[in-house]
Structures are given as C-alpha cells and as structure tokens.
C-alpha cells in the first residue's frame, strides 16, 4: 500500500496518514526467472542476522566510571554516524551495535563540583585588653565599666524663668486673629457653586494635557510586526522546492524477507537510516530542520497517539513521527510473489517517509489547515494533493538511489507494475482521497526520473493532474 492520509486526532495535532489500498491482485507481475538473483532468504527460513562484536556493558554507568577513565564520545553528524554498519567498511566490524532508530549521542559523563567557598579553619585574630596587652580569649572575660563624668559646679540647680502675663495674652490674641482670617478666606473661596471667568486657569490645564498627548501617538507611525507565511505560501512556495537533486544514500536493498515480525522489523530498521541520510542532506542544503522518524512493524490492531492502527494499512503519525507498517500485508505478498513484495515494501516505506518530509517542512500541517475550511469536494482534492506529493517524494528517493538498490531487472518491472495499478480505483471502500491510478503513476514516474522535490509541487498543479 502506498497511500497515507494525515488527519487531525485532536486540536493542534497531526493525525494518522494513510488509508489502505488493496492494489493489484497478489499474483502481480510474472515471477523472476531462474537466472535472477534475489537478496532475500528462502521462504520459511529466518534471515541470518549480521554478526556483531559483543559489547561490554559492565562499566556503562556514569556513576561507576570516572571522567578520566571514560572514552570520549564518537562524533556524529546527522544520521550518518561514525562507525555505522551502513556507512563503514565491510571488512571492519563495528565497535558497538548502532541503533538505526536515532542518532543520539552517547550519555555524557557529568562531573560533580563542590561548593564555591569552603569554611576557613580556626578563629579570628587575637584580641587586646584595655591597656593594649594581648588577652587570652575566655567566655567570661569582659572589659571594665567606663565611669560617667559629672558636670562641673556641683549639684546646684537654676530656677526656671516665668513668662510675663502681658506677653502671654498678646500671643493668644495674635493667634486668634490669624485663625479667624484663614477661616474667612476659606469660606469665600469654596462658597460659590457656579464657576466664573476667574476659574479659566483651573480648567485650561485639564484640557491641554488630555488633547495633546492623545493626538500625537495616534498620528505617529507604529512599527509593524513581521508577518509569517500563510498556509498557501507554505504548501506552494516551500524551500523544499529549491533543494535540487537528492543525493543517493548508496544503500543496497536490505536482504531480510518478511517471514516473521522480527525479520520484517530488521528489514525496515536497515532501510530507515538510508532514507535518513538522503533527506538529512537534502533539507540541510536549504536550512530546514531535520529529525529522524521511527519505524514500527505491528500485527492486528495497535493504539497510537493518532488513533488505532489496523493491519490493513501503513500509516505515518505526525504526533510521534512514527511510520507504522502492518506485517500481514508484507507477509501475504511475500508468500505469493517475493519480488513483487520487495517492490511493495520499498515503495510503501518511501511514501510514508514522504509524509515525514512534509511534517518537517510544515507542509503537512498547512495542508490540513487548508483542508478544514474547504467544501467537501475540495477537501478530497486537498487530500489527493497531499498524498500524491508524498508518493512523488518517495519516488524521488527511489530514483536517487536506484543504482545502489539496485532498481533494475525483475525488481524494476515489479515496481512499474505496482505504480501503474495503485490508486483509489482499487480501494475498498472507494474514497477518492489518494488519487486514481493514472495520477499515482504519473507522479511516481516524475519523481523517480527527476530526483528533485521541486517536481513534486502538487499544490500548484492543475486539477486534472490530481484526480
């Protein structure tokens, strides 16, 4: 299955992306001839796991190993980790197993630091006695009391002078006059209800400040905040379209057949870092953010942050940036036609990774936002533009790495048969949200031949190209 519709599972969240498409009959194209070579194991036999040097984990804890004894962490740059089994020499086994799920650095040793200031030992300087001699410190020792000097002339006291009666009467009369005059002036100033012309100076200050400051700020130009891109600008003029050709990851097809769930998981674990490498280099050229997604093979039903996933669909969940792949579909096609199953697994995983590229560039969220305000028929068209772009982006990687997979012979023939028979024509129930088989074939061939994301701008394409 190659389609994955991204929906919203809640407010502000990006939901699951893919509805299952049944595709062509399981017989598919003719089987490969006896002379063709397949990197897959025979049916019924589990794949041989690559041998890896055992890793000593006895001193892995940061609490048991000092910083001087721990080896410095290896340098990494994006998903291309140093010493990876995908990018290193085939004759040199890896020093330790590298997980293809992420490119996180190993935990750093943390050095504990003590307090900034330590308490000084001992006490303060020696103390001196009243005469300047050093005194032994004792908890009961005290200075002698200082005598208070007496004033000269003995204890003779002076008699207080009496205030003349006439002076006291004059002071009282003067105070009465001053208070009475103040009361009279206060009554005259506050006794009138209607203001006269003399009150103009009191109203003028209140009018001038109120009118002048209110006019000056309104007339002065205010600085405008920069406007962010609209949803239409994000989907139609993204920097994704200026990347140019995508570099090959130089990865061969993983030689693990989906005979059981662990083998299928190992297949996608080896395929995931290959796409990580190519798309990390591509987004880096235009300074777009990049994060490694995750891949998970499941059986039956699986609860995810984007809802319940069922074994009839592969999907991409933008909430936790995880690609969910159903084991039942891969295993069923493998038992019917192994070469066709290889083409199906490569094409499906590359398509779902295309949704992750949309998530990193903001196209996925912007398209979902546009879709909410459209009429029902235009909502389906918006879904087809989003899904057909993911199909084209997946084909861009397959075309860029075609010489190393390699995409030739029976595998290439099976892939061409697959993209010519994929679309809403084969879906049950038939919902026109992923594009018909003609549109899927055209966008797949376009991305495969051009190897450029700018050929995948389905949001500016004519309506007839997104049927």
CB 401 within 8 A of CB 3: no
Two tokens at 117? 């200031």
Environment class of 73 (CB within 10 Å of its CB; exposed 0-12, middle 13-18, buried 19+): exposed
Under 8 Å between Cβ of 244 and 452: yes
Query: Is 173 part of any domain?
Result: no
Distances (CA, A) of 263 to 92, 107, 394: 24, 29, 23
The secondary structure of 87-146 as a DSSP string is TS-TTS--SS---TT--PPPPPPPPP---SSPPPSS--PPEE-TTS-EE---TT--PPPP
Query: What pLDDT band is residue 92 in, cutting at 50, 70 and 90?
Result: very low
Tokens at 466, concatenated? 């997104």
Helix (H) or strand (E) holding 329: helix 327-336
35, pLDDT greater than 80:
no
Residue 224 banded pLDDT, cuts 50, 70, 90:
low
Annotate 273-292 with DSSP letters as a single string.
Answer: HHHHHHHHHHHHTTT-----
Give the E-state strand segments of 162-319 in sequence order.
294-298, 302-304, 307-309, 315-317
pLDDT score, position 87: 34
Integer CA distances (angstroms), 301 to 215, 306, 309, 406, in order: 67, 13, 6, 34
How many Å apart are CA 182 and CA 177, to the nearest integer? Answer: 9
pLDDT of residue 81: 42
Choice between 54 and 427, residue whose per-residue pLDDT is larger: 427
Closest-CA residue to 252 (of 444, 38, 34, 78): 38
Task: Please tell me the predicted confidence (pLDDT) of residue 66.
Answer: 38
Q: How confident is the model at residue 438 (pLDDT cuts 50, 70, 90)?
A: very high
Contacts 24+ apart (CB under 8 A), 58-67: 62/107, 62/108, 62/109, 62/110, 65/109, 66/109, 67/109, 67/111
Q: What is the mean pLDDT of residues 228-234?
A: 94
User: What is the per-residue pLDDT for 227?
Assistant: 79
Asked if residue 449 belongs to a domain, the reply is yes
Highest mean pLDDT among 21-35, 56-70, 211-225: 211-225
**CA–CA separation, 387 and 155 (whole Å):** 112
For residue 274, give its domain range: 240-466
The residues, ordered by sequence, that sit 6+ positions from 265 with a Cβ below 8 Å of its Cβ are: 295, 296, 297
Residue 252 has pLDDT above 80, yes or no: yes
The answer to whether residue 222 is domain-embedded is no
State how far the Cα of 401 lies from the Cα of 86, in Å rounded to an integer.
14
How many structural domains compose the chain?
Answer: 1
Please give the pLDDT value at position 161. 61
Residue 150 resides in a domain? no
Identify whether 25 is part of a domain: no
pLDDT at 86 over 70: no
Predicted confidence (pLDDT) per residue in 138-179, tens digit: 444 444 555 555 555 544 555 556 656 777 787 777 777 776
Spatial CA neighbour of 352 closest among 380, 386, 385? 386
Domain membership flag for residue 373: yes
Residue at 298 is within a domain: yes
The DSSP element (H or E) to which 29 belongs, if any, is none
Could you give the maximum distance between any two Cα atoms of the chain, in Å?
144
First-to-final CA distance of the chain: 18
pLDDT value at position 242?
97
Answer yes or no: is pLDDT of 12 > 50.
Answer: no
Is residue 138 included in any domain, yes or no?
Answer: no
Three-state secondary-structure class, residue 42: coil
DSSP 54-78: ----TT--TTTS-TTTSPPPPPEET
Q: In whole numbers, what is the pLDDT of the chain averaged over residues?
A: 73
The pTM of the whole model exceeds 0.85: no
Within 8 A by CB and 6+ apart from 80, the residues are: 87, 103, 277, 280
């Amino acid at each position: 299955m190659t389609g994955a519709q991204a929906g919203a599972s809640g407010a502000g969240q990006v939901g699951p992306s893919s509805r299952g498409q049944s595709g062509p009959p399981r017989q598919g194209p003719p089987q490969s001839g006896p002379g063709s070579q397949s990197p897959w194991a025979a049916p019924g036999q589990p794949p041989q796991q690559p041998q890896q040097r055992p890793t000593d984990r006895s001193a892995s804890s940061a609490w048991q190993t000092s910083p001087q004894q721990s080896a410095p962490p290896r340098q990494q740059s994006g998903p291309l980790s140093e010493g990876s089994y995908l990018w290193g020499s085939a004759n040199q086994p890896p020093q330790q197993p590298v997980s293809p799920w992420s490119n996180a650095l190993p935990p750093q040793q943390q050095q504990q630091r003590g307090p900034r200031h330590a308490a000084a030992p001992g006490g303060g300087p020696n103390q001196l006695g009243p005469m300047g001699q050093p005194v032994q410190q004792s908890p009961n020792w005290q200075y002698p009391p200082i005598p208070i000097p007496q004033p000269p002339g003995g204890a003779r006291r002076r008699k207080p002078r009496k205030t003349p009666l006439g002076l006291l009467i004059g002071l009282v009369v003067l105070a009465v006059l001053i208070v009475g005059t103040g009361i009279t002036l206060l009554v005259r100033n506050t006794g009138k209800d209607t203001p006269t012309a003399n009150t103009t100076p009191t109203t003028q200050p209140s009018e001038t400040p109120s009118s002048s400051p209110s006019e000056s700020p309104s007339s002065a130009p205010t600085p405008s905040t920069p406007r962010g891109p609209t949803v239409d600008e994000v989907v139609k003029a993204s920097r994704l379209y200026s990347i140019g050709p995508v570099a090959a990851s130089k990865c061969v097809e993983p030689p693990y057949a989906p005979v059981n769930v662990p083998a299928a998981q190992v297949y996608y674990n080896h395929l995931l870092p290959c796409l990580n490498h190519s798309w990390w280099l591509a987004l880096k050229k235009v300074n777009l953010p990049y994060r490694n997604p995750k891949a998970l093979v499941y059986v039956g039903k699986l609860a995810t942050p984007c809802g319940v996933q069922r074994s009839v669909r592969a999907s991409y969940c933008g909430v936790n940036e995880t690609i969910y792949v159903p084991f039942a579909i891969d295993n069923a096609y493998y038992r019917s036609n192994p070469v066709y199953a290889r083409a199906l697994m490569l094409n499906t995983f590359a398509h779902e990774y295309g949704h992750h590229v949309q998530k990193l560039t903001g196209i996925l969220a912007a398209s979902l936002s546009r879709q909410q305000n459209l009429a029902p028929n235009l909502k389906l068209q918006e879904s087809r533009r989003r899904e057909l772009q993911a199909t084209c982006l997946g084909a861009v990687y397959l075309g860029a790495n075609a010489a190393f997979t390699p995409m030739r012979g029976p595998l290439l023939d099976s892939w061409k048969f697959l993209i010519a028979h994929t679309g809403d024509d084969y879906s049950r129930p038939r919902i026109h949200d992923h594009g018909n088989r003609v549109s899927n074939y055209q966008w797949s061939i376009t991305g495969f031949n051009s190897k450029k994301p700018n050929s995948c701008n389905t949001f500016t394409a004519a309506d007839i190209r997104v049927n």
